[in-house]
Structure 1
């Protein structure tokens, strides 16, 4: 199952606000499709599946990748749900998005994949790269890269930069100060339901 490349607002209507996927607001508040407006009682499985899908679509990862993150979170100390969110939030594409260099996570992924972003002075073009405290994330020292990010910075996806990051707009340089805290995760999701969903698979 590959990464989703279809209509984004359709997903937002079905799952609710996904700040990383789209900046647009859907015109209709109900889910898409013929039965979107009919109120059906959802099973517990459907609720857990929906929470899992929120993570998948917001962070732009496929099923296999999410399963890998869940297994890694299980091995970490503390809450599995919080460890899972930390792993996803500390991805390079998400960090570039949270610094305001791109309007969405897919836009940030494109910046990273095309070699416009450096980590500690070296070009890193792997979107899933795990950022660590102390690392410096900046725009590559090229006119094309700077112009691209400058345009993106005029329309940032989220207004506030989380407490674990700092960003200098003049030099277009950001720094990871610490691991992200749960309260700064922009996505409204119940991570415990995601862990429950994978309890039989991971």
Structure 2
């Protein structure tokens, strides 16, 4: 599975942090092997067609946020009909997912791990168990882990991990209480996105 995730990054030519903290260092596959996967070794990337460029942006979203094509399509449609700018709407929908917030707060080292943490029933939203990774959080929501989960080896260093976590401005984290809070709506101007949302809209408008 790790190699499959690395191949996705190499195919797209982007560092998508699919393996969490490993992607921030020299061990990242995009540092070691920044060329397309395949049996023929290092080679130049082919120029993409218009459709290929649109598809590439959609695939970035799928792999980065670990969502399927139907979900990307649904979010694109929702962002299109919502008030405001499509790009901001689309990005806020993705960022407001509970699994993404668990990752952003530092409770999990990757979105993949965050999805599992939520699905296994370890996460509380305002004191209530939520097991749906796509659950949308809103301003004022408090995110914590169950006491039982805090005893697992996976979360034993959670306090120190939260203390060094760099969270976006719309999230607040309390390392001592091991809790996070949604301070406001995700701000697309503050956090640089890794994809071109306008191409997502164009892809589904074809």
The TM tier, using the shorter chain, reads 0.7 to 0.9
Aligned position for 2:19? 22
Structure with the larger helix share: 2
CA–CA separation in structure 1 for the residues paired with 2:160 and 2:19: 16
Aligned position for 2:5? 8
Tell me how far 1:161 sits from its aligned partner: 0.4
User: Is the contact between residue 139 and residue 146 of structure 1 (CA under 8 Å) also seen in structure 2?
Assistant: no
Provide TM-score, normalisation by structure 1. 0.87
SS in 2 for 1:179: coil
Tell me how far 1:90 sits from its aligned partner: 0.5
User: Is the contact between residue 119 and residue 137 of structure 1 (CA under 8 Å) also seen in structure 2?
Assistant: yes
CA–CA separation in structure 2 for the residues paired with 1:121 and 1:32: 45
Q: What CA deviation, in whole Å up to 9, does each residue of 1:13-62 have, x standing for no partner?
A: 1221113x223310201111246613422111111111110000010010
User: Is the contact between residue 102 and residue 153 of structure 1 (CA under 8 Å) also seen in structure 2?
Assistant: no
Mean CA deviation greater in 28-37 or 164-173: 28-37
Q: What CA deviation, in whole Å up to 9, does each residue of 1:145-166 have, x standing for no partner?
A: 354333466668x941000000
CA–CA separation in structure 2 for the residues paired with 1:174 and 1:114: 19
Structure 1 pair 5/73, CA: closer, same or farther in 2 (3 Å)?
A: farther
Q: Does 2:76 align with 1:70? A: yes
Aligned position for 1:33? 38
Q: Does 2:96 align with 1:90? A: yes
Q: Which runs of 5+ in 2 are unaligned?
A: 23-27
Q: What CA deviation, in whole Å up to 9, does each residue of 1:58-110 have, x standing for no partner?
A: 10010111111111111211111211111001100000000000000010011
Q: Which aligned segments of 4 or more residues in structure 1 are displaced greater than 6 angstroms?
A: none
CA–CA separation in structure 2 for the residues paired with 1:115 and 1:57: 23
Structure 1 pair 159/44, CA: closer, same or farther in 2 (3 Å)?
A: farther
Q: CA RMSD in A?
A: 2.2
Aligned position for 1:145? 150
Aligned residues: 194
Structure 1 pair 88/43, CA: closer, same or farther in 2 (3 Å)?
A: same
Q: Which runs of 5+ in 1 are unaligned?
A: none
SS in 2 for 1:167: strand
